[in-house]
Amino acid sequence: MTKKNIPVKLNETYEVPIRDLGIHGEGIGSVNDFTVFVPGALPGETVKATVQTAKKSYAQGRLISIEKPSPCRTEPTCPAYKSCGGCQISHLTYEGQLSVKERRVRDVMKRIGGYEEDIVLPILGASHPWNYRNKMAVPVSQVTSGPVAGYYRQGSHQIVPIDGCLIQEEENNRLLRFAEGFMVRHHLQGYNEKSGKGSIRHIMGRVGNNGEVMAVIITAAPKLPFSALWVKEMHELLPEVVSIYHNVQSKKGNTILGTEIHHLWGKEKLTASLMGLSFEVSPFSFFQVHKEQAEVLYQKALDFADLSGNETVIDAYCGTGTISLCLAKKAKRVIGIEIVPPAIEDAKKNAVFNGISNVEFYAADAGKLMPELYEKGERPDVIVMDPVRAGCSESVLKAAAAMEPKRIVYVSCNPATFARDAKLLRDLGYEVKKVQPVDMFPQTMHVETVALMSRKDT
């Protein structure tokens, strides 16, 4: 379609019926069969929107009015919601959020994976869709009036000031308010990304068992101003804080933590429990940020693995070993593979910490190691895969299928890349039997899935 044929004009207002939500929570509608994205609009609504951007295949409009509202529309309770980019769909009731996410999984399984929608089970929602995040990393900046802490405005690095987040556990919110007050009281400057000036860059909080908190103050400079006062005042005003660190991140970019870290006071690690196991959590550790729903997800993965105690299981993207150790409680033997060496070191420590000895961890590319294990006679009964958002590499998928396990359990944080991988695995002899969506991150468009795949001849 040429620009001349685009059926909408810049700065013109149109009536747009909305049929779905995009990956960032924006409404998807059409004008004369031409796609128009309208942030703030919901499926089933008819809205008026003014076109702000027009490309060859789509346009983006600014919501002017809602002519026909959705019955699932609700008023967001967060005062920063309209400007903050942390949540995308709090203007949708929780029931509506679940419906949108389940429909998204059904759509990609049919459109990308080539499967019928009925293989997708009803989504498992969260018992607590608010105050669920046990990890906080809030950027700090400097404005004329002083330091500000908050989350980035969607699509920018402009900070929207907040003194609490409704999806964070309250212990983290109290830490944030303390840090904001401390910086104001002691005239500390927030970090300016453009100039590189300023001291405090991020405030990080982690909540472990019994509400214990680890606080990490991240600075751009090597020294933390008033480090002794940070410890003294935090200890007096926040009794739940049991561990305090100072981290130095002098490099530009989006990486929150730098490699230089100093333990200022208290415990060096927190203990966090998951699925009856205990994990030591440091500032650098990976741990699921929504514990309740992580247990729902892991339990479904265990159900799909269907272990009797006699199986050998390969966990092809094992990370710090959380799923591997859960599997080890049910299997005869587990082999965990992860390409990131520090994650494997944490996995080994977690195994020792929990007294689990029937698991082996390898720092390697699963696509290369699995064929070597096969040549050595390894015949896993089950292979579990939990890759990053980009999905599995083709070499891992081919290696997994070549080992001919009875079942493949695929855990995914991106339904689209899972559907793509499921299509390739189908060509390699494995059919999807069922897909279970799990809502790990309420108020956002993210949705996790766990799928059971079996060999076609079984």
Start-end of CATH 2.40.50.1070 domains in the chain? 135-276
The 10 Å Cβ neighbour count of residue 456 is: 10
pLDDT above 80: residue 17: yes
Provide the 8-state DSSP code for 101.
Answer: H
The residues, ordered by sequence, that sit 6+ positions from 325 with a Cβ below 8 Å of its Cβ are: 277, 334, 350, 351, 354, 356, 359
Start-end of CATH 3.40.50.150 domains in the chain? 102-126+290-455
Q: Yes or no: is domain 102-126+290-455 CATH 3.40.50.720?
A: no
Start-end of CATH 2.40.50.140 domains in the chain? 3-68
What's residue 4's pLDDT?
60
Helix axes 227-237, 170-185, angle to 10 degrees: 130
Q: Counting beta carbons within 10 angstroms of the beta carbon of residue 432, is it exposed (0 to 12), middle (13 to 18) or buried (19 or more)?
A: buried
What's residue 60's pLDDT?
96
Hey, what are 442's tokens?
């309420």
Fold of 3-68: OB fold (Dihydrolipoamide Acetyltransferase, E2P) (2.40.50)
Over range 350-358, report the average pLDDT. Answer: 97
Fold of 135-276: OB fold (Dihydrolipoamide Acetyltransferase, E2P) (2.40.50)
Band of the pLDDT at 457, cuts 50, 70, 90? confident
Q: What is the pLDDT of residues 20-79, one digit of tens each?
A: 999 999 999 999 999 999 999 999 999 999 999 999 999 999 999 999 999 999 999 999
392 carries an active-site annotation: no
Q: Look at 194-203, 276-285, 332-341, 425-434 and tell me which has the smallest mean pLDDT.
A: 194-203
pLDDT above 60: residue 3: no
Provide the 8-state DSSP code for 211.
Answer: G
What's residue 299's pLDDT?
98
Strand order in 200-207's β-sheet? 159-161, 146-152, 135-143, 200-207, 213-219, 241-248, 260-266
Q: What is the pLDDT of residues 409-438, one digit of tens each?
A: 999 999 999 999 999 999 999 999 999 999
Mean pLDDT over the full length of the chain:
95
Q: What is the pLDDT of residues 129-176, one digit of tens each?
A: 999 999 999 999 998 888 999 998 877 788 999 989 999 999 999 999
Catalytic residue among 87, 326, 392, 413: 413
Prediction pTM value: 0.94
